[in-house]
Amino acid sequence: MNRGRNMKILEKALIVLAFMWAGSVMAESNLCFNGSFNNTNSPLEGWNYDYQWMGNVHFMGNHTHVSVLPEYKGKKNVLHFSGGVHQVKVESKSILIEKGARYKCTFDVIGGVRCYFNCYKWEPGVAPHPDPKLSELRRIYKGEPLVGSHGQWTSVSIFLPLEEISELAYEHYSLVRFASVYLLASDSEAWFANVKVVKIPGTYKVVKSDLKDKTAVKAQFNKPGAKPGAKPGAKPVNKKDDADE
């Protein structure tokens, strides 16, 4: 009799644990904080959209062109760039990057956009902590960009890193501690919804750099203003002059 009662208690405990595990998986399944733009504190909670701190003339008024619409063309809680200026952008809250792991970001979009993962290490002198601000980080790597124009809702994906990464690129990527989802539109309106980041199975392969890669990196690092840690072939990273295109 006691055995039967104990079995029932055990079954109930397992059911509770199963629900707790399922809830935990659901909570952790999206690594992009407030990717649904429905946070109860603010629809833009966790997203970086006010760049006045950078002192960059291109983005001083960026925050005035960013909003969240309750609904747009069948989707709820839609991030909206009003356009009418050279560029409008946002970045997600930083995501801690696991060594050897790969990540995939999916989202729905309308408009002409350029999107990728921005990758960071700590700024010198900043004591590491679990919730960094962009001003405490230094960009050292840019993921492969997704560039395109979409006239209707289209589901797209970006990856970090790609399945193969060159030795020279890996020298910089190996220093990455955090990444953000970077969404940018140029000269036109854009709409985004359902931004989701997940860790995907498998790892990436570091491949030998070819001569073209080495030449590009050498030429890039010889340019005035180039910083150690810039992505091979990418523009020198300068927080005070950071217009992307």
Which residue would you say has higher pLDDT here, 11 or 172? 172
Q: What tens digit of pLDDT does each residue of 144-193 get? A: 999 999 999 999 999 999 999 999 999 999 999 999 999 999 878 999 99
Q: Is the pLDDT of residue 111 over 80?
A: yes
Specify whether 176 is located in the same domain as 197. Answer: yes
Range of the domain at 95: 31-221
Q: State the DSSP string of 58-82.
A: GGTTGGGGEEEEEEETTEEEEEEE-
Mark whether 128 and 20 lie in a shared domain.
no
- Name which of 116, 89, 112, 76 is nearest 189 in CA terms: 112
Question: The whole model's pTM is what?
Answer: 0.77
Number of structural domains, the chain? Answer: 2
pLDDT of residue 85: 81
Question: Are 1 and 110 found together in one domain?
Answer: no
Q: Are strands 164-166 and 205-207 parallel, antiparallel or unpaired?
A: parallel
Residue 239 lies in a domain: no
pLDDT of residue 230 exceeding 70: no
Supply the CATH number for residue 212's domain: 2.60.120.260
pLDDT top residue among 178 and 214: 178
Same domain, 24 and 37: no
∠ Cα 172 228 119 (to 5°)? 45
Are residues 78 and 37 in contact, defined by beta-carbon separation less than 8 angstroms? yes
Rounded percentage of the chain residues whose pLDDT exceeds 90: 67
pLDDT tens-digit map of 30-67: 999 999 999 999 999 999 999 999 888 889 999 999 99
Kindly state whether residues 85 and 1 are assigned to the same domain: no
Six token digits for residue 166: 């060159």
Residues 6+ apart with CB under 8 A from 4: none
234 domain residue, yes or no: no
Whether 55 and 89 map to the same domain: the answer is: yes
Residue 76: which pLDDT band, with cuts at 50, 70 and 90? Answer: very high
Judge whether residue 237 has pLDDT over 50.
no
Q: How many CB atoms lie within 10 A of CB 128?
A: 8
More confident residue, 226 or 58: 58
Residues 57 and 176 in one domain: yes
- Asked whether residue 6 falls in the same domain as residue 65, the answer is no
77, 3: one domain: no
Residues 80 and 7 occupy one common structural domain:
no
